[in-house]
Structure 1
């Protein structure tokens, strides 16, 4: 009899444990694949709603890293197998133009998130003027969605468009540091050549010299900076930026081609306190 009760007790205990485990699995929350980013806006058509995200929750002039998801309007499920491309357009009074932008790829470690970047080189004072068209294919069917987007003017110059001494128009944009620190920061910038009003190409293997200065502090510089060189890994220009204190910094730059010919920018001297090619930081 004792053995029968012992076996019955063990059976009940095992059954209860199994049920509790199943309940825990059922109540486990789904993974949030857009954790750490904020929704900027949605672009919709009759079939899908495309959600656009970045870290700040707004688009600004400069380099914008963007994530997106495509939601089926009927099922409210997010699409996992789309092929996506996009094109930003700025409408001017008498013409229109695009801007530098990337291809779109699936974000690593996610099922429903796609990512890329767009560089907005300008905007209207009220943030208007830009639209974004997203073309995508799902299971062999093509779709498109277009809407106006709001692009704010960045308080500091994080992007500049200029004509080089080679009669080529370039766009230069700050990518990192996103959150500068006192010390040596990794500086990354993106450089593009304007091929036409709608086409921009990445510029490879040039050199960008760096001379950071603090105009409000006697225009002093800092030690341990390095010039920027091109990386074929992420297609950006990398250098070391030394910031010795908080405040407003001007990153004076000179752009050199593969022959070391200066295409834009000047050396900072007492008589020339700032290069014509520069970016800004304040922290």
Structure 2
């Protein structure tokens, strides 16, 4: 009888603990997560009779994945210009050192909606030590326009859009950025991520040389991102969930899978990254033991999220 009462008491404590944490998480979600469905102006510049407007969701560049839109119109009548080609090159200045991040160098032109489309995965938040600069070159109406402007990159408030940068076992530098879901549900959620590898086309360059080819990133092809989501908090016992699906590459170049969140709270997405030959580039298996009262072990490759 005493043992039964003890078990019930322990379960009650665990239930209260879980409920309290869940309530706290829900309160935090209400404070920090916005829908971010509207593109707004980040910066605008007039050059040689044209107006160039750079837009992002919420009018802000955040660390992690950002879709970028660039509108170009004539200053005289604000009409759309005929664009031949445009390139997009973000540069990070850290003192005398220069670097970049995964980005779409040649932007995609959409003449029907009159804007150029691309992306950037900003790996650092702006600070006195980390100064970002945007370089855009546009061939339009027989002219070539050059836009070079400083930009601010803010910390991503939505933890479901976190990212990680690491060196793979092949010696290459990689970035994994979460793109969706922005607002997960307690359900099976389609998950999307970009996986990028630094592939400079030139073997040796000076760090101060702003040659875009040296800072070139590619979307990796034919990889698999094995997924094992866990709730690592001691009160959660490192439990996982059923019906998850590893991320594989789609026609859009991004990686798609399924993550099943069984409750709101603090989750860790544990990964193992396999190349197209099935070799592990990064990541380790996570123990399957249920460990109440003990923080859960994580893969050497993981991203923490919160919803």
Residue number in structure 1 paired with 2:221:
204
Aligned equivalents of 1:43, 1:69: Cα separation in 2: 11
Change over 3 Å in CA distance of 1:239–1:54 after alignment to 2: same
1:57 aligns with 2:59: yes
Unaligned runs of 5+ residues in structure 2 are: 1-36, 201-213, 290-294
Greater relative contact order (Cα < 8 A, sep 6+): 2
1:185 aligns with 2:189: yes
| SS of corresponding position for 2:255 | strand
Residue number in structure 2 paired with 1:22:
none
Residue number in structure 2 paired with 1:135:
137
1:222 aligns with 2:224: no
Aligned equivalents of 1:83, 1:124: Cα separation in 2: 29
Conserved in 2, the CA contact under 8 Å of 1:127 and 1:150? Answer: no
Q: Give the Å deviation of 1:178.
A: 1.9
1:243 aligns with 2:261: yes
Bigger radius of gyration among the two: 1
Q: After superposition, give the CA deviation of every residue in 1:170-225 in whole Å (9 maximum; x if it has no partner).
A: 11111111221221111111111112351111210111100111223222211110
Give matches, 1:259-270, under 5 Å.
259-269=277-287
Conserved in 2, the CA contact under 8 Å of 1:52 and 1:69? Answer: yes
Of 265-274 and 130-139, deviating more is 265-274
Residue number in structure 1 paired with 2:27:
none
Q: Give the Å deviation of 1:228.
A: 1.0
Conserved in 1, the CA contact under 8 Å of 2:124 and 2:130? Answer: no
Change over 3 Å in CA distance of 1:140–1:88 after alignment to 2: same
Q: Give the Å deviation of 1:163.
A: 0.7
Q: After superposition, give the CA deviation of every residue in 1:97-136 in whole Å (9 maximum; x if it has no partner).
A: 121112312348x432221111111233469511111111
Aligned equivalents of 2:78, 2:53: Cα separation in 1: 12
Aligned equivalents of 1:88, 1:41: Cα separation in 2: 14
Conserved in 2, the CA contact under 8 Å of 1:168 and 1:193? Answer: yes
Change over 3 Å in CA distance of 1:248–1:49 after alignment to 2: farther
1:275 aligns with 2:299: yes
Change over 3 Å in CA distance of 1:126–1:212 after alignment to 2: farther
Conserved in 2, the CA contact under 8 Å of 1:62 and 1:121? Answer: yes
Change over 3 Å in CA distance of 1:281–1:224 after alignment to 2: same
| SS of corresponding position for 1:215 | coil
Residue number in structure 2 paired with 1:19:
none
Conserved in 2, the CA contact under 8 Å of 1:127 and 1:152? Answer: no
Cα RMSD between the aligned structures? 2.2
1:257 aligns with 2:275: yes
Change over 3 Å in CA distance of 1:87–1:105 after alignment to 2: same
Q: After superposition, give the CA deviation of every residue in 1:237-278 in whole Å (9 maximum; x if it has no partner).
A: 111111111222211111112232211111112597111211
Figure out how many residues of one structure are paired with residues of the other and give that number: 247
